[in-house]
Amino acid sequence: EETGAAYTPHRLSFATDEQRAPAFLAINPKGRVPALVTDRGVLTETPAILVYLAQSAPEAGLIPADPFELAELQAVTSYLCSTFHVNHAHKVRGSRWADRPESLEDMKAKVPQTMAASAAMLERTYRGPWVMGARYTVADAYVYTCTRWLPGDGVELSAYPHLAAHAEAMAARPAVQRALAVQG
């Protein structure tokens, strides 16, 4: 939405394991989301997709041109996918890491603590008014997605004033409103 590029969204049903169905595995053999089908092939992994989209629409200014600033942005998105997202996944997809019911329950019980720690890390590194400072970037979209999980994971967003203000600013963006409308 932020790039203005045409796209056709497809929402998968995790309830029916659609991400493991042959049709989706033909697109992404990892059986994970997201996957972006392009005219050059399929891209997976959120940080890679975000940089691709931003570089495909340079006029949108969604990533910094400076190599160090871009690396800082990539550090944020990498943290989100390798830590924040994984902490969240322990609640609903713990079977990736454990089989015993008591292990799964331990993982679920720990989610509020690990998600609060992740939110605290983002809160400390937040530059404002956007994640990377004065300029809106693709990192903002990813942070917004992740912070929307906090209430369901037992974490009050209001405990993190920068993230709460960010969520409010993101919800006001027309592109975000359009994307949320597409999600239903």
Block means of pLDDT (10 residues each) for the chain, 184 residues, are 91 88 94 94 96 96 96 96 92 85 92 96 94 96 96 97 97 94 79
| DSSP code, position 43 | E
Beta strands in 12-164 (DSSP E): 35-38, 41-44
What is the spatial distance between Cα 60 and Cα 50, in angstroms, rounded to a whole number? 13
Task: Tell me if residue 104 falls in helix, strand or coil.
Answer: helix
- For residue 30, the model assigns a pLDDT of 92
- For residue 13, the model assigns a pLDDT of 87
- For residue 97, the model assigns a pLDDT of 86
Sign of the CA dihedral running 114, 120, 125, 131: positive
- For residue 184, the model assigns a pLDDT of 67
User: What are residue 44's phi and psi, to 5 degrees?
Assistant: -130, 170
Cα distance between the two ends of the chain: 15
Sign of the CA dihedral running 166, 172, 174, 178: positive
Q: Is there a cis peptide before residue 9, judged by omega within 30 degrees of 0?
A: no
State how far the alpha carbon of 142 is from the alpha carbons of 2, 20, 50, 121, in Å.
Answer: 13, 24, 9, 15
- For residue 93, the model assigns a pLDDT of 82
Quick check: 36 and 49 in contact, CB under 8 A?
A: yes
What is the spatial distance between Cα 43 and Cα 22, in angstroms, rounded to a whole number? 18
Q: Any idea which residue has 């991400």 for tokens?
A: 19
What is the spatial distance between Cα 29 and Cα 18, in angstroms, rounded to a whole number? 12
